[in-house]
Amino acid sequence: MSGRDANGVTISDVAAAAGVSRQTVSNVLNRPARVAPETAERVRQAIDELGYRPNRAAQNLRERASRCIGLKIPAPIGVSNFLDRFLYSLTVAAGSAGYHLLLFAPTAVDEELATYEDLIRTGTVDGFVVADVSARDRRLPWFAERRIPFVCFGRPWGQEDGPYTWVDVDGAHGIAQGVDHLIGRGHRRIAYLGWPEGTGFGDERRRGWQRAMSRHGLDTDGLIGVCAEGVAVAAEAAERLLARPEPPTAFVCGSDTHAVGARLAGGLDAQGRPRVEVVGFDDSPAATLISPRMSSIRQPLDEVARRVVSLLTTRVQGSDSPPEGVMLRPELVARE
Amino acid sequence: MSGRDANGVTISDVAAAAGVSRQTVSNVLNRPARVAPETAERVRQAIDELGYRPNRAAQNLRERASRCIGLKIPAPIGVSNFLDRFLYSLTVAAGSAGYHLLLFAPTAVDEELATYEDLIRTGTVDGFVVADVSARDRRLPWFAERRIPFVCFGRPWGQEDGPYTWVDVDGAHGIAQGVDHLIGRGHRRIAYLGWPEGTGFGDERRRGWQRAMSRHGLDTDGLIGVCAEGVAVAAEAAERLLARPEPPTAFVCGSDTHAVGARLAGGLDAQGRPRVEVVGFDDSPAATLISPRMSSIRQPLDEVARRVVSLLTTRVQGSDSPPEGVMLRPELVARE
DNA sequence: GGTGGCAATTTGAACGATCAAATCGCCCCG
DNA sequence: CGGGGCGATTTGATCGTTCAAATTGCCACC
């Protein structure tokens, strides 16, 4: 704590103070077994006294690694703080693996790959987390060709067993849990409200509902509503379903936004209690705030983040691991 | 694009290919004026052919700078995606200044300062953005003592003219705009609904309402409601105000969450239109989704981010600039 | 007493870039 | 024809760390 300058203390300063060579100091830190106990003690004392911390740039240069993971932060179009939460989990997971998260912003599509390439070639990052995988994402083959380490959060739809490494949450299973839950509470007419066909995860969630219903021998006719994400449009779509003969008494939804819409459309009964029961997806704080006792399906983001980081770091460290797909189960948070 | 390995091409490879010395290659990139045009052209061609990109670790070591800005990502307790949006703006702003954002996670309070110190001493980051300034934040004097470069987003309350550099948004002025807007639309009984006393920004917003009201010669008695952030509690607090004699016809609110609550409490009239008019704060997408035509006060996050980055980078680059406080004006987004 | 073995430590050489100073080549002028 | 001046380019040193190989000191054994 007495170094003249914040960054003035080098390994040689410590070596001089402890009366050893710089390599011995390095060994104390990296190969303690090689150093005699008394020497190590003396060196450690010098380190503390001088407040020495190894220079990261020098280590990076020598070890040809930045211990940084790159993540493109998408333009904030959404509504939920899903990204906030994942980012937090990812930062924590990276931290305990000795890595840091380095953010970069999206660029024009035709510069996007150049941005990724730059970060790798300059050694600014060791690999990437791809959190916004799209169907036939052109980044994935491009990374693979160049042997750029990366792990997806989200399945590369259509190539789940292909050459890419990913971690994802089984949305169909989550939705099925929701259906089981509602059936357990006596519902039989359970509608699905979610995105229009075309998003991989949305389609999967809808199929999960369909399979769960038929497993219970229940009909799904006239019980499916689709609309873009948005409370107002979701409420309208839910109202249309509720206006039919034999209306649903409950909804499982592709997102919390859809769920809030459905609940709004259902309205309140004489006792001021929601008239339809709903299960949302994501268990977002915003939804719980609006609709405090609404059930929702929670993705295990901490676990996702840990797995992503662990898969990525082994790949970064050069071991040529085979591609791997990890499927995690979401959990129904039942309220009310 | 023909280097054998992703990161195999060094400045010496380029030099050899172009038939010059490594320093000339360096000059082409950093001091083009020093190099003869034909030589520069030849070198640039070699750079392109080999796909050379300077190694960041080597540059960092030599220049004693990481070109990274550290940001502690808070635990995701909130509801809005405010952080998402600021993070995005900050990433973009940092990027165009040649910096990257490096995230780290909060630790136990007594390790927190050690985490900051480590990042600086190891040269992992050049400085910090402090986005969660609290009243008498103990980090600020600690940074200052150690001459660690940092810039706050948010005022160091009570020391606005003190030794710290900050960027903030004038909440009182924003709220005053809201009041003016509502008065222009014929309202006279305008309530304020926001946080209980004790948060710097909340108190400021409340004072802004009070001053604006008295500027217009309007009474504020019985028009103030406070509660924690949350739609349900906000609705209750708003209901209490509405139940009084001479109830408010409009609300200005400390946050969008408060505003959504107030609008909920107001309910709809015979034509299905909201009965009370509200102005929120933050113009968060979540609020607009729930309450599509609600007005709100928007913080100029892009501008905040640009200023923060610009102030920080000049401080990082060693110029001993005096402390500076930058106050930006929010903008009322009037809908309906 | 010479030698082999071994643990502890040191020395030299990278890693890839940039700065400062030295050198080169060329033209011009006395 | 020698040397001064100047622009273009190269050489040497350095940033702080770690790896690999060399060295030291010590003990045991023949």
Q: For B75-90, how does the pLDDT look when each residue is reduced to its tens digit (9 = 90+)?
A: 876 656 778 889 999 9
Q: Quick count: other Cβ atoms within 10 Å of Cβ B27?
A: 18
Distance in Å, alpha carbon of B217 to nearest chain A alpha carbon:
36
Per-residue tens of pLDDT for chain B, all 336 residues:
333 344 689 999 999 999 999 999 999 999 999 999 999 999 999 999 999 999 999 999 999 999 999 999 988 766 567 788 899 999 999 999 999 999 999 899 889 999 999 999 999 999 999 998 988 899 999 999 999 999 999 999 999 999 999 999 999 999 999 999 999 999 999 999 999 998 889 999 999 999 999 999 999 999 999 999 888 889 999 999 999 999 999 999 999 989 988 998 988 888 878 899 999 999 987 777 777 789 999 999 999 999 999 999 999 997 788 999 999 999 999 987
Q: Where are the domains of chain B?
A: 11-54, 68-169+301-327, 171-298
Nearest C-alpha neighbor of B87 from the set B98, B75, B72, B97 = B72
CATH topology of domain A11-54: 434 Repressor (Amino-terminal Domain) (1.10.260)
| Cα gap A109→B88, rounded to integer Å | 17
| Cα gap A289→B264, rounded to integer Å | 13
Nearest C-alpha neighbor of A84 from the set A98, A69, A73 = A73
DSSP conformational letter for B126: S
| Cα gap B261→B236, rounded to integer Å | 8
Token couple for A15: 């070596």
CATH topology of domain A68-169+301-328: Rossmann fold (3.40.50)
Distance in Å, alpha carbon of B181 to nearest chain A alpha carbon:
26
Whether B11-54 and B68-169+301-327 share one fold: the answer is no
Token couple for B137: 């934040």
Top-level class of domain B171-298: alpha beta
Kindly state the helix (H) or strand (E) to which residue B285 belongs, with its residue range.
helix B285-290
Token couple for A272: 């001021």
| Cα gap A223→A127, rounded to integer Å | 44
Closest CB from B68, B91, B286 relative to A73: B91
B328 class by beta-carbon count within 10 Å (0-12 exposed, 13-18 middle, 19+ buried): middle
Protein-contacted bases of chain C (C-beta within 7 A):
7-12, 14-21
Enumerate residues near strand C (beta carbon within 7 A). Answer: A 19-24, 27, 34-36, 39, 58, 61-62, 64; B 7-8, 10-12, 22-23, 26, 29-31, 52-55, 58-59, 61-63
Enumerate residues near strand D (beta carbon within 7 A). Answer: A 7-8, 10-12, 22-23, 26, 29-31, 52-55, 58-59, 61-63; B 19-24, 27, 34-36, 39, 58, 61-62, 64
CATH topology of domain B68-169+301-327: Rossmann fold (3.40.50)
CB A281 within 8 A of CB A171: yes
Residue of chain A whose Cα is closest to the Cα of B74: A88
Which nucleotide does the CA of B31 lie closest to, via C1'?
C18
- Cα→Cα distances A8→A2, A12, A61, A192, Å: 10, 11, 19, 63
Residues 6+ apart with CB under 8 A from B179: B190, B209, B212, B213, B216, B252
Closest CB from B100, B260, B289 relative to A103: B100
Q: For B108-164, how does the pLDDT look when each residue is reduced to its tens digit (9 = 90+)?
A: 988 999 999 999 999 999 999 999 898 889 999 999 999 999 999 999 999 999 999
Name the closest residue (CA) to the C1' of nucleotide D19.
Answer: A62
- Cα→Cα distances B298→B171, B230, B330, Å: 10, 20, 6
Nearest C-alpha neighbor of B171 from the set B24, B62, B305, B282 = B282
Nearest C-alpha neighbor of A129 from the set A139, A284, B28, B309 = A139
Chain B residues with beta carbon closer than 8 angstroms to that of A286: 79-80, 286
CB B182 within 8 A of CB B252: yes
| Cα gap A280→A286, rounded to integer Å | 12
Per the listing, tokens 């509690």 go with B233
Q: For B87-103, how does the pLDDT look when each residue is reduced to its tens digit (9 = 90+)?
A: 999 999 999 999 999 99
